[in-house]
Amino acid sequence: METNTEKKQIKRIGVLTSGGDAPGMNAAVRAVVRTATSLGIECVGIKRGWQGLINADFVMLTRESVKHILPQGGTLLYTARSEEFMQPAGRKKAVATCRMLGIDGIVAIGGDGTFRGAYELSKEGVPVAGVPATIDNDVDCTNYTIGFDTACNTALDCIDRLRDTMRSHERCSVVEVMGRNAGYLALYVGIAAGATAVLVPEHKYDFQKDIVERIQDSRLAGNSHFMIVVAEGAGSAVEIGNRIKEALGIEPRVTVLGHIQRGGSPSARDRETATRMGYYAVRALHEGRFNVIIATREGGIVAMPMDEAMKMKKHLQMERYRIMETMQLGGLKNPTEIP
């Protein structure tokens, strides 16, 4: 794979985690370290993301130092966002740190913001490889991001528990899940939970049709409890709950799951995917394929040129939305209404 960076031998790499933490980040760090050492490459852990690269906040990593982190949530390297790094002066400091530490390339684990930073650093002559890790699953160039499966399972477990008490008290529950401006998490969890309604930012909803009438239809069919899942980018669960109370005279219980979705031991899928991605990131740098993002595409893992990957656009699979609607009471009244 051709890139614009002049090829050079990789003897020491840095690895960092940046942006929001995601279950499986530690598994990716472990894979980077162990793959690097197997190739005779030294590995430097950069703490606190791009800010840590500016401040030369680092630790040397070995196979021994990462041997127990596979099942751990969070990130042993810590994570942060850095406004300073997004400025030319900040990146100059980061490049100086790379030179001082003898770092020949960087593996950056995170989401879109992390990759924007990595792309800018690559323009300064530092080879980079990105590993997508975010519970939002909103990195455009990849079908899957590390942490998504664990976050879905965490949210689903919470919703199942809420359903138990909603059923006991014959109530309506409105649950807000994370996802930033993407509805992947909400839709996936909504299907798995058999939600009465799911609101996602990619599909403009009609409050009367998509919430009120669904609750009414469900009640007429004999159900006495209802579950509404709201993606944070689609609106406020508190506001939705207030509108339901005003329209139907019932008092919903609102739950905002928040950052609980980021924690916990990563699932088998996230551990396995993180390990493969970390492996391929190091292999790409070792083989001279610089400035790439490691992505899952059509069931496999590929190293995509970063400039190409950053231009891609990812869209919510509306087929899933149609499936969700069909599973709800009464199914689709007019399937053509949903693109």
Contacts of 334 (CB under 8 A, 6+ apart): none
Of these residues, 57, 104, 136, 149, which one is catalytic? 136
Residue with structure tokens 């390339």? Answer: 105
Residue type, 56: A
d(CA 157, CA 263): 13
What order do you get walking across the sheet with 42-46 strand by strand?
58-61, 42-46, 12-17, 105-110, 128-132, 292-297, 300-305
What DSSP assignment string belongs to 175-232? EEE--TT--HHHHHHHHHHT-SEEE-TTS---HIIIIIHHHHHHHHTT---EEEEEET
Q: Is 210 a catalytic residue?
A: no
Tokens of residue 224, six digits: 């006495």
Residue with structure tokens 């689609």? Answer: 234
| H/E element, 32 | helix 25-38
d(CA 209, CA 197): 10
Q: Is 110 left (phi over 0), alpha (psi -120 to 50) or beta?
A: left
* Best CA proximity match to 285, nearest among 96, 93, 131: 131
Tokens of residue 167, six digits: 């059923």
* Best CA proximity match to 134, nearest among 234, 262, 230, 16: 262
What DSSP assignment string belongs to 284-330? HHHTT--SEEEEEETTEEEEEEHHHHTT------HHHHHHHHHHSTT
- What residues are annotated to the active site? 136
